[in-house]
Amino acid sequence: MTTQTVTLTGLRAVYGSGNRRVTALDGVTTGFDSGTFTAVMGPSGSGKSTLLHCAAGLDRPAEGVVTVDGVRLDRLGEDDLTRLRRDRIGFVFQAFNLISTLTAAQNVALPLRLAGRGPSDDEATAALAAVGLADRARHRPSELSGGEQQRVAIARALATRPAVVFADEPTGALDSTASHQVLRLLRGLVDGHGQTVVMVTHDPAAAAYADRVLLLADGRLVDELTGPLTTGEIAARITDLAAEPSC
Ligand SMILES: Nc1ncnc2c1ncn2[C@@H]1O[C@H](COP(=O)(O)OP(=O)(O)OP(=O)(O)O)[C@@H](O)[C@H]1O
């Protein structure tokens, strides 16, 4: 039986108040099956980052329920939520967000140290080996290419063996070759290790690596494509969506 690692039910997210009030999510219900790769797409301002932040417990929605690994986030206090984020959720950002003064291995080991489980050189080295960077363990971020830095960031996201990895535009700062390397890596984590991955992207070629593409518009889920998907099919659906009047 398939289990859902993350569920979102009736999510509403609102920023500001009065005439500056913006409804960023307007009743989103969906789930992310364990061991699957989902891409979240949609026009700028459609609510993609807000969805990711709410699903990852970085923002609290105004209404609705998020569960991660069977735990309702709205029932957690700030300390328990921080612990759950640290132990059960991996993050990958467009800007890599590595600590410049630490080596690749030290960056990867950081979540383990914060979780009181480290430092374990073996675990950090194994995580770097899994992303093909065992020989770069002692390099600092400035000594690595963008693609290598993002692979270190992925190794860091995996260090605590999270239930889910959320990636916000992970290839946004990379050239095409490095992008495909990072996407193949994410795909391999899903296929080879049953990792659950949820990725926000603007790029149909990146979304083509996913099993499922969710399309958001004006804070609502307006379509869902399931794979195998080609870049062309995804790009065509996005173009159609842009031409449709929003309701
Ligand atoms: N901190 C904030 N304060 C006020 N409004 C916000 C804030 N963050 C986001 N919004 C608004 O919420 C809506 C959804 O924003 P969000 O960043 O989730 O969209 P997005 O689809 O990720 O956009 P992009 O593709 O441009 O990154 C937008 O209208 C945005 O202007």
**Per-residue pLDDT, 116:** 77
Q: What is the mean pLDDT of residues 189-199?
A: 95
- CA torsion sign for 52, 57, 61, 66 is positive
| Dihedrals phi, psi of 25, to nearest 5 degrees | -130, 135
Q: What is the mean pLDDT of residues 161-175?
A: 93
The yes-or-no verdict on residue 233 having pLDDT over 90 is yes
Atom 31 of ligand 1: nearest residue by CA position: 45
- CA torsion sign for 180, 185, 191, 195 is negative
Specify the ligand 1 atom closest to the Cα of 53: 18
Q: C-alpha 163: how far from its chain's center?
A: 12
The yes-or-no verdict on residue 38 having pLDDT over 80 is yes
For the chain, the structural domain boundaries read 34-58+77-243
CA–centroid distance, 105 to ligand 1, in Å, is 34
The yes-or-no verdict on residue 185 having pLDDT over 60 is yes
Atom 1 of ligand 1: nearest residue by CA position: 15
Radius of gyration of the chain measured on its C-alpha atoms: 18
pLDDT in tens, 18-34: 889 999 999 999 999 99
* DSSP state string for 174-229: S-HHHHHHHHHHHHHHHHHH--EEEEE-S-HHHHTTSSEEEEEETTEEEEEEESS-
pLDDT in tens, 51-75: 999 999 999 999 999 999 999 999 9
Q: Which residue, chain included where needed, has tokens 């949609």? A: 42
Atom 16 of ligand 1: nearest residue by CA position: 47
Q: What is the mean pLDDT of the chain?
A: 92
User: Ligand 1 within 6 A of 49 CB?
Assistant: yes
- Please give the model's pTM, rounded to 2 decimal places: 0.94
Q: Can you tell me the distance from the alpha carbon of 18 to that of 135, in angstroms, rounded to the nearest whole number? A: 55
CA–centroid distance, 48 to ligand 1, in Å, is 8
**Per-residue pLDDT, 117:** 72
Q: Can you tell me the distance from the alpha carbon of 143 to that of 148, in angstroms, rounded to the nearest whole number? A: 9
Beta strand pairing call for 89-93 and 71-72: unpaired
CATH code of 34-58+77-243, in short, is: 3.40.50.300
- pLDDT tier at 243 (50, 70, 90 boundaries)? confident
Atom 6 of ligand 1: nearest residue by CA position: 15
